[in-house]
Chain A
Amino acid sequence: MTVFFFGRLKDLAGHAEDSAEFSDATTIEQLFALYAARYPELAKYRSSVVASRNQEFAAWDTPLRSGDEVAFLPPVSGG
Chain B
Amino acid sequence: MATLPHNDIFQLVREPIDTVALAGVVRAPEDGAVVTFDGFVRNQSHNRPTLYLDYEAYESMALTKMREIGLQIHEKYRIHRVAMVHRLGRLEIGETSVFIAVSAPHRAAAFDACRFAIDTLKRTVPIWKKEYFEDGAVWADGEMPPAPAATPRAKPAS
Contacts and interface: CB of A to CB of B under 8 A. Distances in A.
Contacts of B123: 76
A74 B149 CA distance: 17
Contacts of A7: 56, 128, 130, 139, 142
A74 B98 contact: no
Contacts of A6: 56, 58, 126, 128
B71 to A, nearest CB: 15
Nearest to B39: A79
Interface in A33-76: 48, 50-52, 55, 57-62, 71, 73-76
Contacts of B97: 78-79
Q: What secondary structure prevails in chain B residues at the interface with A?
A: mixed
Interface residues on A, range: 20 to 34
Given A50-B144, A77-B143, A78-B55, A55 B60 contact: yes
Interface of A: 4, 6-8, 11, 48, 50-52, 55, 57-62, 71, 73-79
Given A6-B58, A58-B147, A76-B127, 20 more contacts: A7-B142, A11-B139, A52-B58, A57-B145, A58-B148, A59-B151, A60-B150, A61-B151, A71-B61, A73-B58, A73-B145, A74-B128, A74-B142, A75-B142, A75-B144, A75-B145, A76-B123, A76-B125, A78-B121, A78-B126
Contacts of B126: 6, 52, 71, 73, 76, 78
